[in-house]
Structure 1
Amino acid sequence: MFCLLALIAIFISCEEPRPELGLKSGIWRGEISAQGNSIPFNFEVKKDEGAYEILLINGKEKLKIDRIDIFGDSLFFDMHIFDINIKAKIDQEKLSGSYSKNYAEGYVLPFKATYGKEGRFDNKPASNEFDGTWETTFTDKNGKNTSAIGLFQSDSTGINGTFLSKTGDYRFLDGYVEKDTMHLYSFDGNHIYKFKVQKENDSILKGEFWSGKTSYKTFVSVKNDSARLPDANSLTYLKEGYDEIDFSFPDLEGNLISLKDQRYENKVVILQILGTWCPNCMDETRFLSDWYRKNKSEEVEILGLAYEIRPDYNYAKERVLTMKDKMNVPYDFVIAGTSSTKSASESLPMLNKVISFPTSIIIDKKGKVRRIHTGFSGPATGVYYEEFVDDFNQFMSSLLNE
């Protein structure tokens, strides 16, 4: 028996490693299967001096992926800043494998991709029948209703847009119209969305919305160019009896940080309640990073309060450091709690409630809370985003000049 095992060991040790097949540079079309739907998306592979880079294309945005490993015919890559990855087998101009959210038990979906497929679809009919602003009510499986505003705009290649809600927008949606039905999709590494929308008449739409592995909602939309959501600056506020924000959370080096620290005295401070798992937070972080680089001075600080998926400090720290590195974030973070509005509300008991990630709190030089903004209307919302940027800049200018 010993001799037999020795011979097997010698045979295995002499076996040559599988040659690396490599990944073809250029455009690929990927597909993730969820709830009986196929969610198409594109990504571009680049190779420079042996190092790979992938650009995940989601409508008008491109997300850089640089953590890519290839072993023989096996491919592994992470989804931007998220604790999510794709594992696939390379077969010439085909990929087949799985998409996994590592922080969610059993969250694995089938993935495949084909080389050389430009665009999300082979045919993308154009139509302006769904253009406009639509007041929308979503209904989940339990009968709970939530309000939103649908924003759709067609061009020569198809139709794009988003839904805007009081807790944030649905980011970049991209699709096509076929007869009286609009199909919209989104995949940004985390969100896996499909919308199927049928036109009842010129003023009413009825649709279905699939999100990720299990979420499903129906909705009704009524055309209304004057549709508005509640004021995002009125939803979260200080409880009666409180006049300031107070906390003590560890930073990324384990030091406890408080707004009473000398660094924040006599400064305008923006507190960003966020999670690295949250794509809307990614949009806000990109905006705040750009604003901070342009306006950094001795009079303003931004501090991110990170609420991560696991209650493990080292895991949370790793996720935040990954985001800081990949997005080149110039401001500091603390680890504040876990990724639920309940956790955030308990950690900041002076607030009526944290109802959304992200939420931003703006504090003046005297330590007084001057504004709390719930959610974030990102670039996909067009004029709503532009209005937010203008208002934010004016408000911050007035605080800094006080």
Structure 2
Amino acid sequence: MKTSLKASTCAALLLGGMAAPAIATAADSPVTGRWDAVLSRNGTDIPFRLDIKGDGPSLQGVFYDGFKPYDGTTSASFQNGNLVLNVDHYLTTINARLDNGQLNGTVSAENRESSANYTFHAVRHVETAAGPAGPAIAGTWIIPLSSPSSKGEKAFRFVVQQNGGEVAGSILRIDGDTGSYTGHFKDGKWVLSHFDGGRPGVIVVTPKGDGTLEIQQESARPAKASSDYGSEAGAPDGRYAPALVAYRQDVAKARGLAEPDDFLNHTKVVDPNAKFTFNFPDNSGKLISQDDPRFKGKVVLAVVTGTWCPNCHDEAQYLVELDKKYRDKGLAIVALNFEEPDQQETLKRQKAFVKQYGVKYTYLEAGSPAQMWEKVPQLNHLDTWPATVFIGRDGKVKAVHSGFASPASGAFHEQLKADFTSRIEQLLAEKPVVAEADTPATGKALALNR
């Protein structure tokens, strides 16, 4: 699908009627305030809200994920009419020139998930009267797939929040959600889009007379080789189908339509009685294994991840919270990080990622995405980014959670947090197992919690 809306019309449709812009002060830059911005590539326009605040060293660009602000830029400058906004944790840069009150330029995105160059245009936001509310579509919808995704899924979820005529919708798949696509109702449809420094995209949602929603999606991203990211090359992938149909959850169930995959049953451990092992270098090149003192006898979350993966960005922010809460209680988190070969020498994006999110847990360099199965052979059907492995104090895998549902997924994110914390606390409550060498002369291991 190629969107036919012009950039200026698309921005007005998507962004009109939202909250009032930031008020510039004498200390602010000439670009400070709220902008209606548009990325364009291959005939597709992707509108998004961009707020700019501060001046000089404090200049910052703020993106939005749905209704919530996302402080996305890692550095920014405005000199001699030229604006530069850097989003280093996505390797994205906006370069634009302020001319006659408008910003025009380019967006370069080196992130392999969305590697591309876009044209960039932004105008000052002007408040307009709220448009029609549109039909009520809030809630969870099921999207059955005409052919399985490259990960074997037969259905996705479409999670919608609605505020009058403004909608925030997210497609939730086994590896996580798309981020929150946001927009307004006009001419019988919602044009929803998303850009937070990564995963730019636009979907058009049209309510049909039979109660379904037609979802047309266009990411404006170049195709990537699925084999590089944990899928079989050439496999049909329903996730990128240009047109999808969504059914209310109860209707889908009544009709016996396919259900989305279970996050806890998609990836399984090969041998539940074997210890989960790893041995990868840290950033200094030192090999770190599961026997390192920082992991020995602790509850461990081993996360298969990569900083090119937007859903891994979502999860890292939550893992930082878990690390702060449970580190002193016996939890250790380790990222088994898979970066593209051209990133492995400098780790530029990873370093920015760690800094942006305040990551204090261990990062190990496991290899490239294509090496995932080779480097983590203990898991079956491992094909999601991220995948979180829950390991007990005995070193054995207790559960594997595929993907990460971000706050854009609403109740599914809350359920994920409840499941994670419940499982962690249950594992922490279990007493350590004394190693065989530490037991009495009988030579038998003694489990202290028996």
Q: Same fold (TM over 0.5)?
A: yes
Give 1:205-244 correspondences, 5 Å limit: 205-214=213-222, 217=241, 218-225=243-250, 228-240=259-271, 243-244=274-275
Aligned CA distance change for structure 1 residues 24 and 76 (closer, same or farther; 3 Å) = closer
1:110 alignment partner AA? T
Q: Is the 8 A contact 2:334 2:363 kept in 1?
A: yes
State the alpha-carbon separation in 2 of the partners of residues 145 and 291 from structure 1.
29
- CA deviations 1:255-313 (Å, max 9, x no partner) are 11111212211000101111112221111111110121122215111011111133553
Taking structure 2 as the reference length, what is the TM-score of the superposition?
0.77
2:279 pairs with 1:279 = no
Q: Which residue of 1 aligns with 2:339?
A: 308
The verdict on how the C-alpha distance between 1:44 and 1:182 changes in structure 2, with shifts beyond 3 A counting, is closer
- Where in structure 1 do 4 or more consecutive aligned residues deviate above 4 Å? 103-106, 121-124, 142-146
**Alpha-carbon distance between aligned partners in 2 of 1:52 and 1:33, rounded to the nearest angstrom:** 25
CA distance in 2, matches of 1:332, 1:390: 24
Q: 1:64: Cα distance to partner? A: 3.2
TM-score (structure 1 length as normaliser): 0.85
Which ranges of structure 2 fall in alignment gaps of 5 or more residues? Answer: 1-27, 224-239, 254-258, 431-450
Q: 1:263 to 1:129 in 2, by over 3 A?
A: closer
Corresponding residue number in structure 2 for 1:329: 359
CA gap of 1:84–1:146, structure 2 versus 1, over 3 A, is farther
Q: Which amino acid aligns with 1:54?
A: G
Is 1:75–1:88's contact at 8 Å kept on the other side of the alignment? yes
* Cα-Cα RMSD: 2.8
Give the SS at the match of 1:315. coil
1:164 corresponds to: 172
Quote how far apart the aligned CAs of 1:139 are: 6.0
- How many residue pairs match? The answer is 377
Tell me the equivalent position of 2:323. Answer: 292
Larger mean CA deviation between 174-183 and 31-40 belongs to 174-183
One-letter code aligned to 1:206: E
Stretches of structure 1 that go unaligned for 5 or more consecutive residues are 1-20
Distance 1:70 1:114 in 2: 16
Aligned with 2:221: secondary structure? coil
- For residue 123 of structure 2, what is the aligned residue in structure 1? 114
Contact kept in structure 2, 1:139 and 1:145, CA below 8 Å: no
Checking the alignment, whether the CA contact within 8 Å between 2:172 and 2:405 is kept in structure 1 is yes
Please say which of residues 70-79 and 246-255 is displaced more in the overlay.
70-79
- 1:390 & 1:198 partners in 2: Cα distance? 34
SS in 2 for 1:65: coil
SS at match of 1:244: coil
Give the equivalent residue in structure 2 for 1:46: 53
Q: Could you say which residue in structure 1 is the equivalent of 2:406?
A: 378
Determine which of 130, 137, 144 is the counterpart of 1:137: 144
Q: Which residue of structure 2 aligns with residue 186 of structure 1?
A: 194
Contact in 2 for aligned 1:311/1:338 (Cα 8 Å): no
Give SS of 1:252's match: coil
How much has 1:75 moved relative to structure 2? Answer: 2.4
Read off the aligned partner of 1:276 and give its amino acid letter.
T
| Structure 2 CA distance for partners of 1:314 and 1:123, relative to 1, 3 Å | farther
Percentage identity across paired residues of the two chains: 26
* Structure 2: distance between partners of 1:232 and 1:244: 22
Task: Please say if residues 127 and 159 of structure 1, whose CA atoms lie closer than 8 Å, have aligned partners that are also in contact.
Answer: no
**Cα distance in 2 for residues equivalent to 1:38 and 1:64:** 21
How much has 1:73 moved relative to structure 2?
3.0
Aligned to 2:21: none
State how far apart, in whole Å, the 2-side matches of 1:156 and 1:133 are: 17
In the TM superposition, residue 252 of structure 1 has moved relative to its aligned partner by 1.4
Q: Is the 8 A contact 1:35 1:213 kept in 2?
A: no
Q: Which moved more, 1:26-35 or 1:370-379?
A: 26-35
**Larger proportion of strand:** 1
Change (3 A) 1:206 1:362: same
